[in-house]
């Protein structure tokens, strides 16, 4: 073996130094810049084109969900509060076990719709239509408990067919536009997979085939799988399975609880990529059938943080998901009035249900006009939705969302192509103050700068 001398090492020194410099330039500096850029973020510089109407305002937030906190119609005492939010759909799960719908035995099933009918009638009274999560397994056909498989999938198919015919049937409840979702969080409730003996694909196939057997019914939708998140081994396999088996799939659904709003946008991009090469699914819809900032108990659900997350989350999903079902409408009966539960309203156990900040967040979003207007210049924290109404007045919602709760920002706002003449400018802070001024101008462009505290939102109105 040759022994390396000191002179040899000195000769290699420039080479070693050169390699180190290259590594710093190629690897270390870009990663550092990327980290610093992410940490510092991009400030907003909002630019709105008054004449840039994009069409009807997408309103994914006008969909709500109620979990099975109690085995009864939980919403009957808050109909007026829900109706004021103008929901389009309300989703219910636990429909079979909470209301004891199915009895009898295999091949001789009986159905008692009275309890579930009451809950559905309450939804209709709010002005919304029902979305029924077909869950959980009726004990009359189960091999065990409510999250077990049925004794045979034909029994499950019979239950699904009877449900659709009862609510969508023209000679029965006669509800047009019902939505049926196959199960609720099958990866959690039942530990189902997309393979093996406890296979969700078997459940979906039995459900879709049952939907194909119904007759004399109104238009309805069926889909799934309502998993706890967007998982490739679930959604992509279901997409491929329904294409191979020629099964009906009107929508793909999943749940998303996350403070990082980029995750909501990533979900939709991913699921679209899985479905885009399947011609039969060209009209596939995308529903987030539960969402919030935390799937566990969290005090943010009782305070302003959850409200600002709701406003910013609604902005993140606009134009990408067709419906986003905010979870949930009313708290279950906890040990105290405010216990970090997901509800927009408190439970009547502690007196008349009270509206929590997330309730007012939906009302705030509903204050936008019916026509969406283009917005450029959103930043890392500050997002915006602009709108006009039939009279030509403009409403601009600006939200500054920061999970860390530390980022405040002065936001330049430019509005171009304004109508000629003076206008009134109003700012109404979410759960806060208002200010107004009269603007005298002959210019088609107007600029202002507004400051937004951490986790805040405001509706800016221009009345002409």
In DSSP terms, 460 is beta-bridged to 396, 427
Residue 23 banded pLDDT, cuts 50, 70, 90: very low
Cα separation, 254 vs 185, whole angstroms: 8
Contact between 155 and 141 (Cβ < 8 Å): yes
Helices then strands, counting H and E runs in the chain, come out as 11, 19
CATH number (domain holding residue 437)? 2.60.40.1180
Domain of 416, in residue numbers: 44-56+370-463
Give the helix/strand (H/E) hosting 400.
Answer: strand 394-400
70-126 tens-digit pLDDT: 999 999 999 999 999 999 999 999 999 999 999 999 889 999 999 999 999 999 999
Alpha carbon distances (Å) from 95 to 18, 138, 206, 260, 420: 69, 10, 18, 31, 56
Q: 336, 365, 394: which is the final residue of a domain?
A: 365
Region 203-220: what's the mean pLDDT? 98
Residues 51 and 192 in one domain: no
pLDDT digits (tens, 9 = 90+) for 221-249: 999 999 999 999 999 999 999 999 999 99
Q: Which residues contact 9 (CB under 8 A, 6 or more apart)?
A: none
Residue 88 maps to a domain: yes
Is residue 14 over pLDDT 90?
A: no
Please, what is the average pLDDT of the chain?
92
Distance CA(307)–CA(267), nearest Å, equals 22
pTM confidence score: 0.90
Binning pLDDT at 50, 70 and 90, where does residue 6 land?
Answer: very low
Q: Is the domain of 305 the same as that of 418?
A: no
Q: What is the pLDDT of residue 277?
A: 83
Report whether pLDDT(31) > 60. Answer: no
CATH code for position 287: 3.20.20.80
**In this predicted model, what pLDDT tens digit does every residue of 112-135 receive, in sequence order?**
999 999 999 999 999 999 999 999
Same domain, 235 and 356: yes
pLDDT at 437: 94
**Residue of 311, 297, 310, 287 lying closest to 342 (CA atoms):** 297
Cβ distance 259 to 309 under 8 Å? yes
- The span from the CA of 391 to the CA of 393, in Å, is 6
| Bridge pairing between strands 178-182 and 129-134 | parallel
The confidence score (pLDDT) of residue 9 equals: 38
State the DSSP string of 413-440.
Answer: EEEESPPSS-EEEEEEETTS-EEEEEE-
Give the end of a domain, one of 365, 382, 410: 365
Is residue 377 situated within a structural domain?
yes
Q: Is there a single domain that holds both residue 257 and residue 345? A: yes
Considering its fold, how many domains does the chain have in total?
2
186: helix, strand or coil: coil
Domain's final residue, options 365, 400, 429: 365
- How many residues appear in the chain? 464
Instruction: Name the residue with tokens 């979003």.
Output: 365
| Number of C-beta neighbours around residue 150 at 10 A | 21
Are 422 and 452 part of one and the same domain? yes
For residues 164 and 210, is the Cβ–Cβ distance under 8 A? yes
Same domain for 454 and 357: no
């Amino acid at each position: 073996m040759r022994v390396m001398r000191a002179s040899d090492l000195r000769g290699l020194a420039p080479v070693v130094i050169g390699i180190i410099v290259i590594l710093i330039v190629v690897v270390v500096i870009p990663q550092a810049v990327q980290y610093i850029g992410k940490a510092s973020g991009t400030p907003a510089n909002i630019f709105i084109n008054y004449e840039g109407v994009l069409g009807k305002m997408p309103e994914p937030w006008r969909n709500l969900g109620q979990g099975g906190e109690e085995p009864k119609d939980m919403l009957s005492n808050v109909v007026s509060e829900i109706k004021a939010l103008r929901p389009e759909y309300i989703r219910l799960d636990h429909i079979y076990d909470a209301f004891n719908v199915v009895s009898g035995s295999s091949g001789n099933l009986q159905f008692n719709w009275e309890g579930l009918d009451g809950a559905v009638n309450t939804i209709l009274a709010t002005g919304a239509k029902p979305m029924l999560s077909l869950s959980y397994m009726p004990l009359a056909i189960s091999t065990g408990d409510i999250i077990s498989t049925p004794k045979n999938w034909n029994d499950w198919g019979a239950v699904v067919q009877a449900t659709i015919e009862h609510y969508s049937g023209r000679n029965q409840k006669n509800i047009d536009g019902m939505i049926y979702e196959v199960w609720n969080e099958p990866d959690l409730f039942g530990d189902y997979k997309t393979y093996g003996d406890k296979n969700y694909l078997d459940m979906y196939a039995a459900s879709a085939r049952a939907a194909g057997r119904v007759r004399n019914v109104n238009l309805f939708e069926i889909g799934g799988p309502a998993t706890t998140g967007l998982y490739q081994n679930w959604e992509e396999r279901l997409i491929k399975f329904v294409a191979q088996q020629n099964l009906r799939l009107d929508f793909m659904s999943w749940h998303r609880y996350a403070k990082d709003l980029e995750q909501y946008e990533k979900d939709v991009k991913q699921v679209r990529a899985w479905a885009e090469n399947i011609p039969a699914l060209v009209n596939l819809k995308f529903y987030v059938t539960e969402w919030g900032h935390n799937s566990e108990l969290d005090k943010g659900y009782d305070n302003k943080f959850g409200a600002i997350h709701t406003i910013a989350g609604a902005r993140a999903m606009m134009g990408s998901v067709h419906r986003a079902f905010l979870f949930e409408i009313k708290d279950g009966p906890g040990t105290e009035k405010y216990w970090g539960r997901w509800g927009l309203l408190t439970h009547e156990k502690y007196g008349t249900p009270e509206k929590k900040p997330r309730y007012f967040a939906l009302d705030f979003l509903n204050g936008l006009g019916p026509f969406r207007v283009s917005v450029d210049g959103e930043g890392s924290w500050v997002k915006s939705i602009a709108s006009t109404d039939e009279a030509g007045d403009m409403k601009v919602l600006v939200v500054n969302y920061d999970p860390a709760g530390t980022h405040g920002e002065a936001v330049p706002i430019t509005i171009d192509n304004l109508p000629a003449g003076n206008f009134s400018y109003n700012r109404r802070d979410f759960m806060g103050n208002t200010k107004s001024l009269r603007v005298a101008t002959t210019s088609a462009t107007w600029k202002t700068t507004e400051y937004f505290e951490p986790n805040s939102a405001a509706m800016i109105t221009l009345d002409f």
